[in-house]
A and B are shown apart, each in its own frame.
Chain A
Amino acid sequence: MKYEHIGGINKGKVMLFALSTCVWCKRTKQLLNTLGVEYDYIFVDQLQSAEKQETMGELEKWNPRCSFPTLVINDDKCIVGFKEDEIRAVLG
């Protein structure tokens, strides 16, 4: 799958499932950029159907609601929505 990689401080594996049109997703990306952490993101709305299905299957494991943004840290912790304080606490 086509995850975009953003270089930065290594805080472990940080993955962001996002929509290109979603403003809360943009705020989450901006926060990750401000914190300067290394992460990968994917705009699920821009994927072709097979890839989209596969990515949604992956997302569902973490967030059964499949809502955006969903941030997965170290294949362990999942933060759903732009929860600034929580994201800062884990990655700040």
Chain B
Amino acid sequence: MIEITKENIDKLFAKLDSDTRKSSYFLNPDSDFTRELVEGLIANESRYGYQACPCRLAAGDRNEDIDIICPCDYRDADLDDFGACYCALYVSKDIAEGKTTAQPLPDRRPVKREERPQFREKKVGKGYSELSHPVWRCRVCGYLAARDEPPGVCPICKATKDRFDRFM
């Protein structure tokens, strides 16, 4: 079980910082704020086994919570509309560069369980039979991969294989 120590916070912070830079996302430049969120991610990993969003109440069951495992399924839409994700760990370029600051925003996660991305009815694009491979879409960042199976980890946002849907 991962413990909440300064060393573990530093380690996860450095990993997130490096991952986000490589994929052109941005962490909140307020490092105190961001470190507190990283601490929350470690606390959730320790009690649930996965890094559930620190600002949402997790159910404690991976499939129930999979849409709110950080980065959550709602991050990119919130970055587009508000310049920050719900907890404000991830922010827009403008906020990263200090032109504006992150503000609290409303939660777009559907209240109704059946409307959440992992439970919604999946529509697979037609014309699959004409393609040489099935196409898989990452629910977090939209990355598409034409291969027999989804990748083990999304190369863009690091979401795990179980967060991919068949797209075509």
Which residue numbers of A lie inside 8 Å of B, CB to CB?
19-26, 44-45, 56, 64-68, 81-83
Find residues 41-73 in chain B having any chain A CB closer than 8 Å to their own CB. Answer: 41, 43-44, 54-58
Is A23 a contact of B107 with CB atoms below 8 Å?
no
- Nearest residue (CB) in B for A22 is B55
Give B107's nearest chain A residue, CB to CB.
Answer: A67
Name A26's closest neighbour in chain B (CB-CB): B36
Verify A20–B55 contact, CB threshold 8 A: no
Check if A65 sits within 8 Å of B87, measured CB to CB: no
Other A-B pairs, 6, CB within 8 Å; known A23-B54, A68-B57, A81-B105: A19-B55, A21-B44, A23-B40, A23-B55, A24-B55, A56-B57
Q: Is the CB of A45 within 8 A of B58?
A: yes
Give A83 to B106 CA distance when docked, in angstroms.
11
A21 to B33, CA, bound (A): 12
Chain B residues in 8 Å Cβ range of A22: 40, 54-55, 87
